[in-house]
Amino acid sequence: MKYIMYVFLIFVAINAFAQPQHKKRALQESIPKQDNAIVIFEITTDILVIGGTTGGTSAGITAAREGVKTLIVEETPWLGGMLTAQGVGACDGNSHLPSGIWNEFRDKLRTRYGGIGGVWTGWVSSTLFEPHVGDSIFKAMAQAEEYLDVVYGYHLKDIIKNGNAVEGAIFLNEKNEKLIVKAKITIDATDIGESLKMAGAAYRYGMDSGKETGESNAPEEANNIVQDLTCVAILKDYGEGADKTIPKPRDYNPQNFYGCCEETVDKVKIDCQRMLDYGKMPNNKYMINWPKFGNDVYLNVVELPREEREKELQKARDFTLQFVYYIQHELGFKHLGLADDEFDTPDLLAYKPYHREGRRLKGLSFLTFNHVADRYGQKESLYRTGISVGDYPVDHHHGKNPDAPKIGFDPVPSFNIPLGSLIPEQVNGLIVADKAISVSNLINGSTRLQPIVLLTGQAAGILAALAVKEEKQPREMSVRMVQSTLLDRKAYIVPLYDIQPDDPDFEAIQKICATGILKMIGEPFGWANRTWFYPDSTITIAEFTKGLNLYDTSVEIVDSDKQLTGKTAIDYIQKIVEHGKPVTNEYKDTPVTKRELARILHATLNPFDREIDFNGYYKN
């Protein structure tokens, strides 16, 4: 404790660590040294999370909750990434998938604002909130974890490697002070996969070729085009009669925004309030993150060096200020001004741009549109390996780049992310979270949204913590162990709409669906896609034997459309139970529901305990 207090006093004295945590168990070592006039701090921890982003925040909190020393290093003063520091305080999707840490965060928001109605203030989402409130919630969650520390104000400079293994990272702050962190497991939770090139991890960038991915709705040829990004503004209503119009920005051209309210030039203001209400937040604030002739910008900056990238990103900030001026000056909303109680930036805009896409890892698994649209029809059974869930449709922003190929946004059901998408093909010691996971460009339009990124981060934290405890590499970890731990934390591994965590059979049904013995029924449904279990329905003998055959090929598929009974189900299970161990025969010769069948399978055969690999194949 004396040594930890010494560390704490050093940090306070030099102001290198903003808002230090109340306990410092994650900091084993911090020794100031000199290296060419650059102050160096060295820290050793178990898990390093690069980026206090949406996924990074959940990864760090989750890993610490597993009792493993964890450190988050974040560039901005805030936790939460997209949801907070980037200003996107409107949660897209997962309204009916109350899974894990996403549900925990949403409950805290509802408590803060007085219920569901308090956060259902705009029409783009049922959960909107002020970014600074989201930051305060995440910080309180982080503060409560004694094994978690957070360092603010440092950006990634390089990755520390030993052979093929990542062993930490090097960071710099604005004072050119260096922070060296050694870790057993490093999680890249940056928005754009910032560490992947440094770590030597293979990755994809831009639009994939449909010839490579097998996606018929992808471009025929690959390119390096990414989605438009946005620098978000938060406007506040300062009251009738107020004039908060900002000075006319440089290079202002109102024609850039003609059509933001309607299909035609904005001569009529009738629908402009609806445009603003899209992102209306509590306390009369408005999120300005508007794609249609709004403040989306095409900037292909991910592969640029950091200094050049930051310079280019100023264009996005300037463009958003132009849109704000247009809203105030041309549309007449002078009383709406840049919020003075959100971001402590010179222009009052969000700390960082909202990157919808960056580098995407080449991982042990590769999730494509096809795996989501037809989960049972693919060579790989990635649905069996799920660790986070989402229900958002494929949503790409390419309105500001005329060279972007037109791509189809065919309907999809709700879906899950495979565990192998978080693990590099070759590099050890590294886990990837947030938006840089191993998915195709096309399905990234669904996997990039905030709730699922929170949940993917939670899974990354579980994976990292278990790897540390087991003294294994992430690629050596049991898929089922990670999934079981997530289920213990009331997180979904399959995206069922009609079985929620308070259901007494939640765990059993989640596990059986993750084997494929009992099928889920996917349904594209507008902006809130669904997957059903239908617990009170029955199935045929043919359906049941087909499912068992996927688990054990010795089971003969019986082509019978007779309804499966409890007694018949037991008879088939008895044939493949380990060592012929007798199972209960208490079930009657009457049709059995899927709920009852899940209970039977879970209690007798327990197929979930059979190990699978990262592509969902059963191991011998």
Regions of the chain where pLDDT drops below 50: 1-29, 31, 37, 264-266
Residue 492: per-residue pLDDT: 98
596 part of a folded domain? no
Name 540's bridge partners: 563
Of the candidates 501, 519, 221, which has an alpha carbon nearest to the alpha carbon of residue 376? 519
Residue 20: per-residue pLDDT: 40
Please state the three-class secondary structure of 217-232 as a single string.
Answer: CCCCCCCCCCCCEECC
20 part of a folded domain? yes
Give the pairing of strands 360-361 and 203-204.
antiparallel
Residue 439's CB is within 10 A of a number of other CB atoms, namely 28
Residue 267: per-residue pLDDT: 52
Of the candidates 485, 477, 351, which has an alpha carbon nearest to the alpha carbon of residue 422? 477
Contact 548, 555 (CB under 8 A): yes
Q: Note whether 198 and 235 are same-domain residues.
A: no
591's CB contacts (< 8 A; 6+ apart) are 538, 563, 564, 565
Residue 172: CATH number of its domain: 3.50.50.60
How far CA 485 is from CA of 45, 345, 507, 604, in Å, comes to: 22, 40, 11, 21
The 10 Å CB-count burial string (b at 16+, else e) for 549-567 is ebbeeebebbeeeeebbbe
614 part of a folded domain? no
396 part of a folded domain? no
235's CB contacts (< 8 A; 6+ apart) are 276, 285, 286, 288, 324, 327, 333, 336, 337, 338, 339
Q: Note whether 176 and 292 are same-domain residues.
A: no
Q: How many independent structural domains does the chain possess?
A: 2
Q: In whole angstroms, give the CA distance from residue 265 to residue 257.
A: 9
Q: Note whether 213 and 76 are same-domain residues.
A: yes
529 part of a folded domain? no
- Is 467 strand, coil or helix? helix
Q: Note whether 16 and 128 are same-domain residues.
A: yes
Domain end (from 445, 475, 495):
495
Residue 18: per-residue pLDDT: 40
528 part of a folded domain? no
310's CB contacts (< 8 A; 6+ apart) are none
Residue 121: per-residue pLDDT: 97
Q: In whole angstroms, give the CA distance from residue 279 to residue 297.
A: 18
Range of the domain at 329: 229-338
Q: Note whether 4 and 131 are same-domain residues.
A: yes
Of the candidates 68, 36, 37, 72, which has an alpha carbon nearest to the alpha carbon of residue 53? 72
Of the candidates 148, 208, 155, which has an alpha carbon nearest to the alpha carbon of residue 177? 155
Element (H, E) at 296: strand 296-297
Q: How many residues does the chain have?
A: 620
Q: In whole angstroms, give the CA distance from residue 512 to residue 530.
A: 18
Q: Note whether 65 and 193 are same-domain residues.
A: yes
**Tokens at 518, concatenated:** 């009992």
Give the pairing of strands 70-74 and 148-152.
parallel
Residue 200: per-residue pLDDT: 97
Element (H, E) at 300: none
Q: Note whether 130 and 203 are same-domain residues.
A: yes
Q: Note whether 300 and 158 are same-domain residues.
A: no
Burial class (CB in 10 A: 0-12, 13-18, 19+), 588: exposed
315 part of a folded domain? yes
Q: Note whether 154 and 191 are same-domain residues.
A: yes
Residue 12: per-residue pLDDT: 35
Q: In whole angstroms, give the CA distance from residue 593 to residue 393.
A: 31
Residue 589: per-residue pLDDT: 87
Contact 131, 341 (CB under 8 A): no
Q: Note whether 97 and 220 are same-domain residues.
A: yes
Of the candidates 309, 301, 397, 316, which has an alpha carbon nearest to the alpha carbon of residue 349? 316
Domain end (from 441, 471, 495):
495
498's CB contacts (< 8 A; 6+ apart) are 532, 533, 534, 535
Contact 292, 322 (CB under 8 A): no
**DSSP per-residue letters across 243-290:** --PPPPPTT--GGGGTTSSSSS-TT--TTHHHHHHTTEETTTEEEE--
Name 38's bridge partners: 35
Q: Note whether 107 and 195 are same-domain residues.
A: yes
Residue 270: per-residue pLDDT: 54
Contact 604, 573 (CB under 8 A): yes
505's CB contacts (< 8 A; 6+ apart) are 499, 535, 595, 598, 599
Q: Note whether 91 and 195 are same-domain residues.
A: yes
Element (H, E) at 233: strand 233-237
Residue 465's CB is within 10 A of a number of other CB atoms, namely 26
Domain end (from 437, 462, 495):
495
581 part of a folded domain? no
390 phi/psi in degrees, rounded to 5: -150, 165
